[in-house]
Structure 1
């Protein structure tokens, strides 16, 4: 009989926890009649986590596979390496620190067999909860989810899109596994956005403090999380962010030049050009980096054209609404800005960088 469920467990200095985790997984899944394997991906733990897990497999007969890596290469890449080593039809990802209770695995597996493509162990659906967190930690978590929902449309209906405990059908990542490039701790986000899931379910669970050891969350992980979200954001969100930064550059340049005594007409024109150059560079290396088919100066000239077209449309729409339809000035200007943004984005995507 083939392996039904593969459980990927990244580890680094988890010797104190790994034995208890494997024992609990075995008790839960054997009792449920599930043929499973545990794939432990260890980053050369100094405390001998991998050796201990290997010993447990040999002496206790647990179905454990060890993937040894040469050093501390990060949790996200550990999950990907683990996924590449699995044999199961269904794949679960969980931490080794016992914050993710193995007792939830059968419920998640049931959800997948019932038609879901991804089952998320959720802290924020009805029945889910968190123990041992301060108010500040809860606020940070909610804030992180809010940012994700704003920037990633695909996850807006998911209560806990940043959970580290989830299960999915293997075919969800078929054809895209090599394109998955998660950063930090949030591999689920990568799979939700780049994978082929149609139906996502959430299973409630209680997130508890670590059994033993220390949390590995650091400032670097927070920065990686934010960069990961920005990288996953759709191109129109990135384009809007770049446009907002361009506005800051425009006004900043104008302020500096006018303080230096430069006439407004010259300062304004210079500020506009500097902001266009700023926007071109950021869109070229970030928003549309896959669409650099022409020479850079060709793209730059075309971006000037699309930007000029957007300014003309913004001005035309704003004045038409104000003078012809008698719409208040601020609303007319806002509609004009939106119209100019849409045109500039479409021209940039299809004409300047030709991503379609």
Structure 2
């Protein structure tokens, strides 16, 4: 087929329509690998998958959160020679859960596996996990570090062991199904099931498996496949105590906010408000220390307390509330100044609205509470838009 041009120009062959393109082999499995600073592990992981998945039609999707070590470049270099390798480089979006969702929704395979990019997950159990789901024995297959026959030796330090054990005990008390390793980052399920659950996932934090299980509910059939959790060879560990804080927040969101409040109040807002409440305590402590302890003028002590509380709120929000979008390097200082400006305007709005209501004969406590709530909502909405905006 050709396209005829005017004025006697040379005809140009038309591109083949999708209907005439040769059919591609259907993929059995997409392996989604969320990663940050894992450049050294990309090639070894692809080589390991090539051996483990021999005989299967598969692809690997690296979802990189704009790693400074060139993880995306390493994946794309492999993709030049191996069409099974794909890369999604995300700019302005961070977080393991959202990376998994984005990578999984980019897949067209019948099944989706999720594994870390640090080589600690044993790729040789992927065929067994796939068989458990394809055979219909399970809806979800989980690679477990703690099931019978497993080895969690890759948790190299006693601190990491204790952190994992604490999280597992907490999760097991809330989960609708029994799992020996609810904090595992290694699992496999059908794409159809993932797409059904995806709209209801929070997309926040590091424990996407927990979110999936809580979203699916008690009817979910789970198969656990034990594996040896290897020691990390390269890259950075993402496990720290704040991951457990986010994990507790996920449980709060699933079991309280969505169940009783219908998801109307975002978890971030609850966290932001709680940080603000702690900031009040910091404010009072600094005020007392400056005014009563150091005998400063009240105006100076109050000013120092206000700045200290704002700095405290910013630091804690940056580490917890907006952990997946936290500011780093020089942006911390510009973010702090902008946050103080936003909160200063919020304080003016708080006082102004409270005074206006009081002038209309609203009881003092009610007027003050209304002003405070409006101030918190202002601070949350504007700081989310200006301070921690996606970049």
**Aligned mates of 2:220, 2:237 — CA distance in 1:** 33
* 1:123 pairs with 2:145: yes
- Contact 1:183/1:225, CA 8 A, preserved across alignment: no
Cα deviation 1:22-42 (Å, max 9, x = unaligned): 11111211x2x1101111111
In the TM superposition, what are the counterparts of 1:138-177 in structure 2 within 5 Å?
A: 138-152=161-175, 154-155=176-177, 157-177=178-198
CA, structure 1 residues 47+71, in 2 after alignment: closer, same or farther (shift >3 Å)?
Answer: farther
Which runs of 5 or more structure 2 residues have no equivalent in the other structure? 1-24, 262-391
CA, structure 1 residues 66+235, in 2 after alignment: closer, same or farther (shift >3 Å)?
Answer: closer
- Number of residues paired by the alignment? 234
Residue aligning to 1:218: 240
Aligned to 2:141, the other structure's residue is in SS state strand
Shift of 1:57: 1.6
- Contact 2:145/2:226, CA 8 A, preserved across alignment: yes
- Contact 2:145/2:227, CA 8 A, preserved across alignment: yes
Residue aligning to 2:249: 227
2:43 to 10, 19, 23: 19
Shift of 1:103: 1.2
Cα deviation 1:215-274 (Å, max 9, x = unaligned): 1223432211111122222679989xxxxxxxxxxxxxxxxxxxxxxxxxxxxxxxxxxx
CA, structure 1 residues 5+134, in 2 after alignment: closer, same or farther (shift >3 Å)?
Answer: same
* 1:93 pairs with 2:120: no
- Contact 1:7/1:37, CA 8 A, preserved across alignment: yes
Coordinate RMSD, CA, aligned? 2.1
Aligned to 1:174, the other structure's residue is in SS state helix
**Aligned mates of 2:251, 2:120 — CA distance in 1:** 24
CA, structure 1 residues 236+79, in 2 after alignment: closer, same or farther (shift >3 Å)?
Answer: closer
* 1:200 pairs with 2:222: yes
Aligned to 1:175, the other structure's residue is in SS state helix
- Contact 1:120/1:166, CA 8 A, preserved across alignment: yes
**Aligned mates of 1:135, 1:13 — CA distance in 2:** 24
**Aligned mates of 1:208, 1:238 — CA distance in 2:** 41
TM-score by length of 2: 0.56
* 1:51 pairs with 2:55: no
**Aligned mates of 2:48, 2:173 — CA distance in 1:** 38
**Aligned mates of 1:236, 1:229 — CA distance in 2:** 10
- Contact 1:7/1:38, CA 8 A, preserved across alignment: yes
CA, structure 1 residues 238+139, in 2 after alignment: closer, same or farther (shift >3 Å)?
Answer: farther
Aligned to 2:74, the other structure's residue is in SS state helix
**Aligned mates of 2:258, 2:60 — CA distance in 1:** 40
- Contact 2:37/2:236, CA 8 A, preserved across alignment: no
Residue aligning to 1:76: 97
Residue aligning to 1:135: 158
**Aligned mates of 2:236, 2:249 — CA distance in 1:** 25
**Aligned mates of 1:190, 1:14 — CA distance in 2:** 24
**Aligned mates of 1:174, 1:53 — CA distance in 2:** 25
CA, structure 1 residues 131+4, in 2 after alignment: closer, same or farther (shift >3 Å)?
Answer: same
In the TM superposition, what are the counterparts of 1:146-295 in structure 2 within 5 Å?
A: 146-152=169-175, 154-155=176-177, 157-195=178-216, 198-233=220-255
- Contact 2:39/2:235, CA 8 A, preserved across alignment: no
**Aligned mates of 1:191, 1:9 — CA distance in 2:** 17
**Aligned mates of 1:72, 1:198 — CA distance in 2:** 30
**Aligned mates of 1:200, 1:135 — CA distance in 2:** 29
Aligned to 1:121, the other structure's residue is in SS state strand
TM-score by length of 1: 0.62
Which runs of 5 or more structure 1 residues have no equivalent in the other structure? 240-356
